[in-house]
Structures are given as structure tokens and as C-alpha cells.
């Protein structure tokens, strides 16, 4: 994602460099020969009329010049760093009671650690960029092929790519080794689709298959749109002077080879460089999407504001006390005090108070959180239980965290929005049956069985139907290298299933040569001429081909969704086919309706003219093509329908059941018919047989939707309070109005309130936009009601799920059969739906708990460290002097307390893994207890006040009674000794507090505590033995550490004061754990007994309550103990 500075630079760059605005269209002269501007010799001039970027790739954020200033500027823009920078400036510009190094060193340490981390990551990006930029590519210049580095490519170059090589930039395909001009490509690096795709050279240039011909016989230009990120669209025209003059040849996405794609099964291909470098489609898509902000970040900022308020309050108390003391008679009559001590407090005193208390804000917390999230995300990347073998050496075998920024939100998901096809199902389609001319058939082996279970011989009608299926597609047939068997490569699993089914029944698609389609029927080989392809799109929900059969008869063949096809059919067995469609859907099968129309030559010419006019348009080409297709695909003859089975993935019912027990409300959003969706939902365990279906379907007006919703509300109310024995089924048109938050907020609120009480919601006939709007409506309704936090999660496997995945707080993508678009655009990706259980209920639960405790503990230890400064000021006449030596101020966060909490945040497991697996309800309990709630925050703050008060007054009392601390003959110890003992007691207390919160003592955890314990005496001894003025110009701390710890009383205080401070914590811990068995402990603060069907509901005002299905008394009832920090 671009930084704010980079975004600002992009805005001001055109004005600073006096760049003119870009034209709407770009003109690319082939081989840089501008025939419209001849040179002095009458030949075309060399050069492009526009300037384009070179082909170098740069994913790095900095270079050697900009790294230091930009990185520093970005880090200083973060609130805690800016806060400490201001403190450093104040200390450097004024006379403050503590050394400026006490603020400079921690700030420098945090900035240096972050700088090293970001610099290393950027260095890796530079190395990868260099590897790509130095790749050698072939270009055609001066009539021959030459090798140059990839970064030297320019727009207008003629590029030659060989088999199994990546395309170095976005190229217009001019010719290939195939005489037909076709080119086979895989785009796995772009969208993850591994099937072969066919691209086509321009008809006028496909015969130019060597460098000499391209240089001598090709002259012209391409006029096309400026670069856009859409991988599947392109609009342009080719204007040729030679080999023969053409006014404009329309170009589309099937003529353009994208950077990152790989040439397959084609020896070579020649192309014209259209877009280079950052302007390629893959370059435009590499830019980050909208940053997501986690609930922990939001609450952390709120906590920080509270501490800043506490800082200002304590500062005001110190300044006010200083003012009152200065005005008192005792001070004014103190003749022995110098005159400058009698002046009233001024702005300098206020600054001094701020400097003494400003350590209440933890400077190292943000960098610690970043490191903790990074290491936690590695648990997902290397989880063997989430490993799914799709193919050998495929990186998609492993689950992956694409981001670690919102990793804690996996532990607080309330709503799960789930796609069906490919997400709950395998997306491995099998042809199961069909309906032909009103007769229903099922496929058994290699035979069709009619509905009366008699074997049906293929008659003319059946063969004609299957032949139409074998023609209406965009798949490609290829012979397997070993067996010689035909293998179909299709972008849609449905098409492959239909072709495989047709082959079983004796109708075989044998392949395409140029525009000729070959189909084998009953031992005969039939050749059809393909005239036009109207490809599938999500708006029309159908696709068509125009073909000429061996007898010269022209046909339009169309297939698509039943709702998109049946209204366009004017003949055929419509009523019977509609019934068969419903029967197939009731079995959970996917249905496509097939129709055709016979065309005259006049019709064919008219279609060609419409498509040519739409293709030649550079403005709104896609909309015009859709409109042209709509005008063609009508008045069809209904032939029948097909039924394809998509098997349910293993483990889906168990996963959905556990998610529901965890208090997560599961919505299924699918484009299938209501009947198909309901049956899959039932098989997946999303709905149960005993649930009533509250349907809001078939509504086309707002009044109809309102009426259906009112009926559903009345039916839900009849179930009684707290009983949800129903599910909600909504159709796409109704869903459009029910989730229209901007225009009908009341209706949307009513629907979402009803859905919030239902354990299952099923949305059918959804478009990708409706999926995204549904997620957005739930988020907006939650924000509007003030509920905190209601986290949404969306999971899908296809490009049509990307908008939903991006809209949700947490997006999970599955490695799909149809591509990797969902995985590439998600926050987390994995191979199977069932892994969501491990991702949320185990990883998410632990991540949220760990980070919540880390945040609370950081604030606690800093408040506990800072408050003794305030207590000391209360007893020294509000004289703004630091209790601590500056060494402690500098080292406390950076060295003395950093390691244990970081390791705790990475490895802590407050519950055994077996319990988290066995009891999904613990996920609901984890959300309900809210470890980041204000109640817990103030409990931690109360503990900080108590611990700091005991550590200060416990030590100060001994000094007040005997400043020799039991060792006559040695000069009395002063302020430095008191501050040292207070810090040492605090270190013992805060480390012990963290140990008391820990439940998992891994070797690394124990080592981190030992390292931290040893770190203090080593650093203190080293600093004490140095006669330096880095922190203390008076050298009051020199050798003090050694002298102080020669006193028995000092060791006695280190043993008794921390024990006294921790006594309430120990008593509460014993009280809470004593009466209960260990198995009943849910976490270190809340004890919840076994119960059936635990769920989480949002109470009034946004509070969370835990509802259990078993409310019997005794040990079976939920018991929640008093929570303290």
C-alpha cells in the first residue's frame, strides 16, 4: 500500500514537473515508426509522440537516497514516536530534571529497530526487482532479433517470446508459430487459473512469423485505452498501412498477452509492447487495497487517550501544588533559600512536570505489537493441520497469512458470510442428468436413463441436444502426451463436466482449428464453422455461439441460468422443463438451460454488424457488447436443461456446526436457485430438518418485500423469546431492497434485526455486488447501533467473491479451481473450508487473547513505573525532581521489560489445545469476557496504582525511619538509592504479575524471563562502574549499585515489598481457583462451567452476554467469577 507521502507526491508531481494531462486514448506506433510524421527522406520518423515509463519493476518503497529521510518521516508521523520526539525537543531546548538521553535513547532504539526491519524487507524487494529487470528478452530491431534486458523494453517494441517463457510486458499478439495465429497461455501468476487459455493474433498480421517480415512488411499504429487494472478487458483498434491498409481492426482482451502469463504449447509468439513497467495490468493490480484497521487498534488508541488525559491531570496537580507551595508563608519566609527558588511556577515548571510524567506512554508498544503479529502469522503459514495437497510443489498446499495487521480479529468474528460453489463444495462438477424436449434423463455410466428407468438409445433429438452442448463453450481440447486421450481445458468446471458427459454418451468435442469446431457423433466427424462467440458475463448470466453446421445452416446456440434463459424462450416444452429444473434443484444439482435459434444470412450479417460496431467503439465497449448480445439472444427455442453435481467438501457440516456453537452466525450467499441452495445448505448442516423456513422470495416491489418481512417477523415472534427454530431464506431481488441502507434504513434495520436472531441465513440468486452490499449493510447497522465490536468475516473461492472479501473486516480466500483471485485479494488464504475451524477457533482465539493481554500489560507496567514519580513529588514540596536515575528511564521499556511480554504475546496458550478443539463454545466465551473491555483496563490500572504505591511507600518508609538502612558508619543513602530500590521492586512485581498471567511455560518463555532477570544486574553493574555523564552529570549513581546491595536491609526490602504488593493478586488467584477443578477454568480471569449450545448475543447498549442452552443449577450452570487484572 502506498504511504501518505507517496500518495501526496503523486498528486503534486504533475504540477511540479509541469506535466500535461494524459489524453483519453494512447497511440502506439509499431516499431516506433511514425508514418504520420515522415522524416526529411520521406520515410516514417522514429519515436513515439507520447512518453511512457520504461519496463523496470520497482516494488521497493525506498532507494539509497530516500530511505533515511522517508523512513524517518514515516516513523515520526506515528503518534507515540511523535509524542516522544516532542519530549526530546523539550528536553534539549530547556533545563529539565532528567537527562535528555533518557528520552532520546528509547526513541532511537525503537526507530532503529523499525528501520532495520523495514530496510531489510525493502532490500529483499530490491533484489527481487533486480532479478526481474535483468531478465533477457528478445526484441526485433533492424530486421533481426536482439537480446536486451527487460528493463530496456519500450512501448512500441516488437518482442519475441519463446515457449515456457513469461511475457515481459503487455503485448498485442501479432503472430505465432501456429498458422492459425492462436497462442496458448497460462495465467496462473495473474489470477491463479492453471488451465490453458487461447489468445488470437490479429488476422491481418498472423502470417508475419519472422523478424524480417515484421520489419519490412508491417507499418501502422494502435489506438487503445490508457492502462486499466481490469485483467479481462481491453479496448483498442489497429490501423495498418501495410501489409494492406485497414481503417480500423477492433482489438479485445483475446488479442492481448499480459505480463506474468506464460507461453505454453506454442513455439514462439511475436507481440507489440503496449503497456510497460508500472502501467502493465499486473503492475496496476499490485497496488494495495484499502487498509483495514483492527478493533485492537481502535481500542488501543482509546486507551492511549485516557493515559494522555491522566498525564495531563497529574501534570496539573504537580504544577498546582508547586504554585501553592511557592505562595505559602513557609517558603516566602525562608531567608536561606536563594531568590530564584522563590519565584512562582512558570511555563518551564509545566514542561518539567510533563517531562517527569511523560513515560506513562509506552514508546516500545507499537514495535512490539508489530513483531508479535509477524511471529504469530508464521503459526498459520506453517500449520501442518491446515496443509492441503492440491499438487506437488504447489505453494497453495499451505495456508497463508497475506497480512498480519488484523490477525487478532480472527478471534472476535460474529458474522461469517460464505460463498457456496467451490467454498462449501468441491467445485468438481459431474454431469448427472438432463431434460430434452420435456423428457427427464439421468446419466448412468455411459447411458441415459429416462424417468421410467429404461435405458434410452440416443435418438436424433438427444444427439442434437448433446451436439449443441459440445459446441457452446470456450473450452479447448488437447491430446494427453502419454495416453493420447482428449483432455479438456475450460475456465469453468461446468463446461468441462458437460463436455466429459457428452463424450460418455458418444458425442465428443475433438478440438478447434482456427474457426473450425470438430465434433464426433456416432463415429462420424462433423465440422462446424464458428462465426461469433458471445462470452459469459455476470450481468447476462449466459453465453452464446453463432455457428454454421455442415449443411450451411446458421444457428445461435445459447446456454445460461434458468432465470436468464426461460424468459427469452418462445417455443419448446417450457412448462415441463420448468418442473424438471425444480426437480434437479431439489436434488442440490446445478442447472443450465439450453436454447437455440435458426438464423438467416441476413440475421447473421446483422449480428456481425452489431458486434463489429460495438467492438470498434473505444468508449463503453463492454456495455455496448452486452447490449448487442441482449438484442441477439431472444426468441429462442427451448431445447432442455442440464444437471451438474458439485460434491460437498469433506468436513463442512462439522465445521459449520462448531462455528455455530462458537457463537458465529453463518450466512450463505450464492447465485444458485432457492431450491438448490436450500438442499446444499441442509446437506452442509447450515440448516436442520427441524427448522422452519422463513422465505422472502419473489418480491419485486418495496411493498411486497415489506409484507413478506412482516410475515416473517410474526412467524419468528411465535417461536417465543430466546427460541430460534427458524432460518431465513432471501432471494436476490428482495435482498437488494432489504440491504439498501442508504435509501431505506428502517427496512434494512428490521431485516438485520430478524437475521440477528436467526441461527442461519440463506441468500440466493446473489450477484457479486449484492454480496458486498450485504456485508456492508451488516457493518453499517452495527456501527449505527453502537455495538462494539461486531466483526464480519467473508470466505469465498472465486473472482465473484473478491468484493465481499474486501468489504468484510476479515477476508478469507480459498484456492479455487477457477483461479486464485479470491486468495490473492484476501487477508488469509487456505485450501479447504474446514480449516476455518482451526483458523478462527484456535489461532484466532489465541491471537486475540495474547494481543489483548499484551496491550493491557504494556499500559499497566508503564503506569506502575511512572506513578512513583508522582508520589515522590507529593512529599518533596512538589519539587519537580526525578525519583529515578535517567538510566532507568531509558532502559525500562527498551531492555528491562521488553522480552518477556513479547515472548508471552507469541507463545501464550491460556487454554490447552485439546480443550479449544473439543469445546467451540470457548470461542464465544472469549468474545464475551472482552479482555480489551474498559472494565478490564481500569482493573489493570487499579493494579498499577496499588503496585506502584506499595513499591514506593514500602521503600520510602524504611528511608524515613533510617536512612542508613541498618549499616552504621556509612554515609546515608539518598534519592538515587531510593529510586533504585523502587525500580528493582517494580521489576520483580511486573515480571511476577506476568508469570501469574501465564499458563504455558515453553522453554523459550522460561528463557525470556531468565534473560530479563539477568539483564538488569548486568546493565546496572556496567553503568555503575562507568564514570560517565551520559545520564548523570553529578555522577550520583556511580558505584551506588554495588554499595547498596551490600546492605542486608536492601535485600530484605526486595523480598518483602514485592510480596506485599502482590498479596492481593495471590489471594484473588487462590480464591478463584480453589473451589473449582482445573478442568472448569476457562481462562485466567473468567470461569465458565460446561453448558450446551453456548452462544453470544449482543445485549442492550452493545454489551455482550453469554447464553447457554443448559441453565440448571449447581456445577451445570455458568459461573463467572469476579474479574480482576
- What does the radius of gyration of the chain's CA atoms come to, in whole angstroms? 36
> Which triple of cell numbers denotes residue 143?
530486421
Q: Which long-range contacts (CB under 8 A, 24 or more apart) does 1087-1092 make?
A: 1087/1119, 1087/1120, 1087/1121, 1088/925, 1088/1118, 1088/1119, 1088/1120, 1089/1115, 1089/1116, 1089/1117, 1089/1118, 1089/1119, 1090/1115, 1090/1116, 1091/921, 1091/1116, 1091/1117, 1091/1118
Angstrom distance (rounded) from CA 494 to CA 499: 9
Rounded to the nearest angstrom, the gap between the alpha carbon of residue 925 and the centroid of all alpha carbons in its chain is 25
Annotated binding site for Mg(2+): 419, 421, 797, 801
Annotated binding site for ATP: 419-421, 495, 536, 559, 590, 670-672, 765, 771, 800-801
Which of helix, strand or coil describes residue 421? Answer: coil
Going 468 to 473 to 479 to 480, the CA torsion angle's sign is: negative
Rounded to the nearest angstrom, the gap between the alpha carbon of residue 303 and the centroid of all alpha carbons in its chain is 26
Listed in sequence order, the residues at least 6 apart from 685 whose beta carbon sits closer than 8 Å to its beta carbon are 652, 653, 654, 656, 657
On whether the CB atoms of residues 86 and 76 are closer than 8 A, the answer is no
Dihedral, 109, 113, 114, 117 alpha carbons, nearest 10: 170
φ, ψ dihedrals at 1022, nearest 5°: -65, -45
Listed in sequence order, the residues at least 6 apart from 378 whose beta carbon sits closer than 8 Å to its beta carbon are 401
> Which triple of cell numbers denotes residue 367?
514495535
Annotated binding site: 419-421, 495, 536, 559, 590, 670-672, 765, 771, 797, 800-801
Beta bridge partners of 160: 138, 270
On whether the CB atoms of residues 211 and 143 are closer than 8 A, the answer is yes
Angstrom distance (rounded) from CA 435 to CA 769: 32
Active-site position among 157, 191, 414, 419: 419
- DSSP code of 842? I
φ, ψ dihedrals at 805, nearest 5°: -65, -40
Angstrom distance (rounded) from CA 370 to CA 854: 12
Is residue 783 part of the annotated active site? The answer reads no
Give the CA count within 13 Å in the CB-facing half-sphere of 18.
Answer: 0
> Could you tell me which of 875, 1124, 1004 has the C-alpha nearest to residue 375?
1004
On whether the CB atoms of residues 54 and 283 are closer than 8 A, the answer is no
| H or E stretch covering 571 | strand 569-571
Going 818 to 496 to 425 to 377, the CA torsion angle's sign is: negative
Per-residue CA distances from 1018 to 896, 979, 1009 (Å): 11, 18, 15
Per-residue CA distances from 270 to 178, 219, 857 (Å): 11, 15, 63
What amino acid positions are annotated as catalytic residues?
A: 419
Amino acid at each position: 500500500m502506498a504511504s501518505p507521502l507517496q500518495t501526496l507526491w503523486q498528486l503534486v508531481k504533475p504540477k511540479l514537473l509541469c506535466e500535461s494531462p494524459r489524453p483519453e486514448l494512447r497511440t502506439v506506433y509499431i516499431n516506433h515508426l511514425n508514418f504520420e510524421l515522415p522524416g526529411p527522406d520521406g520515410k516514417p520518423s522514429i519515436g513515439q509522440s507520447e512518453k511512457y515509463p520504461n519496463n523496470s519493476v520497482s516494488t521497493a518503497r525506498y532507494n539509497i537516497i530516500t530511505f533515511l529521510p522517508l523512513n524517518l518521516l514515516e516513523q515520526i508521523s506515528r503518534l507515540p514516536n511523535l509524542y516522544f520526539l516532542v519530549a526530546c525537543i523539550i528536553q534539549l531546548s530547556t533545563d529539565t530534571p532528567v537527562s535528555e538521553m533518557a528520552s532520546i535513547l528509547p526513541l532511537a532504539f525503537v526507530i532503529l529497530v523499525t528501520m532495520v526491519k523495514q530496510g531489510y524487507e525493502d532490500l529483499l524487494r530490491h533484489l527481487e526487482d533486480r532479478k526481474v529487470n535483468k531478465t533477457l528478452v528478445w526484441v526485433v530491431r533492424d530486421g533481426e532479433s536482439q537480446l536486451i534486458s527487460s528493463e530496456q523494453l519500450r512501448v512500441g517494441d516488437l518482442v519475441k517470446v519463446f515457449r515456457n517463457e513469461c511475457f515481459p510486458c503487455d503485448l498485442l499478439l501479432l503472430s505465432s508459430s501456429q498458422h492459425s495465429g492462436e497462442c496458448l497461455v497460462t495465467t496462473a501468476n495473474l489470477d491463479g487459473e492453471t488451465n490453458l487459455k487461447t489468445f488470437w493474433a490479429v488476422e491481418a498480421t498472423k502470417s508475419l512469423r519472422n523478424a524480417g517480415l515484421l520489419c519490412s512488411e508491417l507499418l501502422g499504429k494502435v489506438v487503445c485505452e490508457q492502462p486499466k487494472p481490469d485483467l479481462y478487458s481491453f479496448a483498442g483498434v489497429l490501423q495498418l498501412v501495410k501489409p494492406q491498409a485497414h481503417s480500423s481492426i477492433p482489438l479485445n482482451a483475446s488479442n492481448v498477452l499480459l505480463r506474468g502469463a506464460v507461453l505454453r504449447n506454442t513455439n514462439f509468439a511475436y507481440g507489440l509492447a503496449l503497456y510497460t513497467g508500472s502501467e502493465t495490468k499486473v503492475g496496476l493490480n499490485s497496488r494495495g487495497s484499502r487498509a483495514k484497521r483492527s478493533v485492537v487498534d481502535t481500542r488501543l488508541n482509546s486507551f492511549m487517550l485516557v493515559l494522555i488525559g491522566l498525564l495531563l491531570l497529574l501534570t496539573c496537580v504537580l504544577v498546582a501544588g508547586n504554585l501553592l507551595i511557592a505562595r505559602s508563608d513557609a517558603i516566602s519566609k525562608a531567608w536561606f533559600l536563594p531568590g530564584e527558588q522563590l519565584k512562582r511556577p512558570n511555563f518551564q515548571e509545566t514542561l518539567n512536570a510533563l517531562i517527569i510524567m511523560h513515560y506513562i506512554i509506552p514508546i516500545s508498544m507499537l514495535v512490539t505489537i508489530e513483531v508479535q503479529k509477524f511471529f504469530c502469522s508464521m503459526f498459520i503459514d506453517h500449520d501442518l493441520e491446515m496443509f492441503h495437497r492440491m499438487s506437488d510443489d504447489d505453494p497453495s498446499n499451505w495456508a497463508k497469512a497475506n497480512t498480519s495487521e488484523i490477525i487478532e480479529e480472527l478471534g472476535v468474528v460474529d458474522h461469517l458470510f460464505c460463498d457456496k460453489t467451490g467454498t462449501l463444495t468441491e467445485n468438481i462438477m459431474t454431469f448427472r442428468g438432463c431434460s430434452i424436449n420435456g423428457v427427464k434423463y439421468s446419466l448412468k455410466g455411459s447411458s441415459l436413463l429416462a424417468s421410467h428407468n429404461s435405458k434410452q438409445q440416443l435418438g436424433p433429438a438427444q444427439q442434437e441436444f448433446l451436439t449443441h452442448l459440445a459446441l457452446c463453450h470456450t473450452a479447448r481440447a488437447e491430446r494427453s502426451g502419454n495416453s493420447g486421450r482428449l483432455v479438456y481445458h475450460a475456465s469453468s468446471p461446468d463446461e468441462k463436466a458437460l463436455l466429459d458427459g457428452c463424450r460418455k454418451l458418444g458425442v465428443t468435442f475433438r478440438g478447434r482449428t482456427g474457426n473450425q469446431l470438430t465434433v464426433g457423433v456416432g463415429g462420424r466427424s462433423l465440422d462446424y464453422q464458428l462465426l461469433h462467440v458471445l462470452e459469459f458475463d455476470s450481468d447476462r448470466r449466459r453465453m452464446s455461439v453463432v455457428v454454421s453446421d455442415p449443411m450451411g445452416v446458421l444457428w445461435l446456440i445459447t446456454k445460461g441460468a434458468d432465470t436468464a434463459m426461460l424468459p427469452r424462450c418462445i417455443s419448446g416444452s417450457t412448462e415441463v422443463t420448468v418442473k424438471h429444473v425444480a426437480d434437479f434443484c431439489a436434488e442440490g444439482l446445478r442447472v443450465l438451460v439450453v436454447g437455440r435459434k435458426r438464423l438467416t444470412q441476413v440475421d447473421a450479417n446483422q449480428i456481425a454488424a452489431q458486434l463489429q460496431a460495438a467492438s470498434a467503439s473505444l468508449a463503453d465497449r463492454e456495455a455496448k457488447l452486452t447490449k448487442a448480445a441482449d438484442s441477439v439472444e431472444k426468441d429462442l427455442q427451448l431445447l432442455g436443461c442440464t444437471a451438474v453435481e458439485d460434491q460437498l467438501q469433506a468436513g463442512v457440516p462439522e465445521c459449520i456446526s462448531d462455528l455455530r456453537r462458537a457463537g458465529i452466525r453463518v450466512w450463505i450467499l450464492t447465485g444458485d436457485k432457492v431450491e438448490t441452495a436450500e438442499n446444499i445448505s441442509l446437506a452442509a448442516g447450515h440448516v436442520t430438518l427441524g427448522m422452519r423456513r422463513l422465505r422472502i422470495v419473489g418480491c419485486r416491489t418495496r411493498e411486497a418485500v415489506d409484507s413478506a418481512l412482516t410475515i416473517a417477523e410474526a412467524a419468528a415472534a411465535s417461536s417465543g423469546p430466546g427460541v430460534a427454530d427458524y432460518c431465513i431464506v432471501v432471494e436476490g431481488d428482495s435482498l437488494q431492497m432489504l440491504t439498501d441502507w442508504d435509501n431505506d434504513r428502517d427496512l434494512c434495520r428490521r431485516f438485520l434485526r430478524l437475521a440477528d436472531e436467526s441461527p442461519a441465513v440463506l441468500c440466493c440468486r446473489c450477484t457479486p455486488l449484492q454480496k458486498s452490499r450485504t456485508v456492508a449493510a451488516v457493518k453499517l447497522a452495527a456501527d449505527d447501533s453502537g455495538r462494539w465490536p461486531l466483526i464480519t468475516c467473508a470466505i469465498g473461492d472465486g473472482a465473484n467473491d473478491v468484493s465481499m472479501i474486501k468489504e468484510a473486516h476479515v477476508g478469507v480466500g480459498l484456492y479455487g479451481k477457477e483461479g486464485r483471485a479470491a486468495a490473492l485479494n484476501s487477508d488469509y488464504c487456505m485450501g479447504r473450508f474446514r480449516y476455518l475451524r482451526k483458523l478462527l477457533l484456535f489461532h484466532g482465539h489465541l491471537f486475540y487473547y495474547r494481543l489483548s493481554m499484551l496491550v493491557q500489560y504494556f499500559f499497566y507496567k508503564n503506569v506502575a513505573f511512572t506513578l512513583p514519580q508522582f508520589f515522590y513529588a507529593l512529599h518533596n514540596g512538589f519539587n519537580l525532581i526525578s525519583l529515578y536515575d535517567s538510566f532507568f528511564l531509558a532502559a525500562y521499556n527498551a531492555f528491562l521489560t521488553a522480552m518477556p511480554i513479547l515472548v508471552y504475546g507469541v507463545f501464550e496458550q491460556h487454554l490447552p489445545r485439546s480443550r479449544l478443539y473439543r469445546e467451540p463454545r470457548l470461542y464465544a466465551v472469549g468474545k464475551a469476557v472482552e479482555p480489551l473491555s474498559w472494565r478490564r483496563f481500569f482493573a489493570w490500572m487499579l493494579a498499577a496504582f496499588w503496585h506502584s504505591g506499595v513499591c514506593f511507600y514500602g521503600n520510602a518508609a524504611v528511608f524515613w525511619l533510617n536512612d542508613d538502612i541498618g549499616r552504621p558508619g556509612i554515609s546515608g543513602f539518598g534519592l538515587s538509592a531510593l529510586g533504585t530500590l523502587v525500580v528493582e521492586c517494580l521489576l520483580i512485581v511486573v515480571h511476577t504479575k506476568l508469570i501469574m498471567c501465564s499458563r504455558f511455560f515453553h522453554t523459550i518463555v522460561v528463557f525470556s524471563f531468565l534473560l530479563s532477570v539477568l539483564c538488569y544486574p548486568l546493565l546496572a553493574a556496567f553503568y555503575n562502574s562507568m564514570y560517565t555523564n551520559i545520564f548523570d552529570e553529578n555522577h550520583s549513581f556511580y558505584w551506588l549499585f554495588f554499595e547498596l546491595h551490600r546492605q542486608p536491609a536492601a535485600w530484605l526490602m526486595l523480598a518483602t515489598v514485592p510480596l506485599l504488593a502482590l498479596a492481593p493478586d495471590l489471594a484473588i488467584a487462590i480464591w478463584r481457583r480453589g473451589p473449582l477443578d482445573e478442568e472448569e477454568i476457562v481462562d485466567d480471569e473468567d470461569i465458565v462451567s460446561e453448558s450446551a449450545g453456548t452462544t453470544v448475543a449482543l445485549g442492550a447498549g452493545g454489551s455482550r452476554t453469554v447464553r447457554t442452552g443448559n441453565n440448571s443449577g449447581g456445577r451445570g450452570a455458568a459461573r463467572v467469577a469476579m474479574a480482576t487484572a
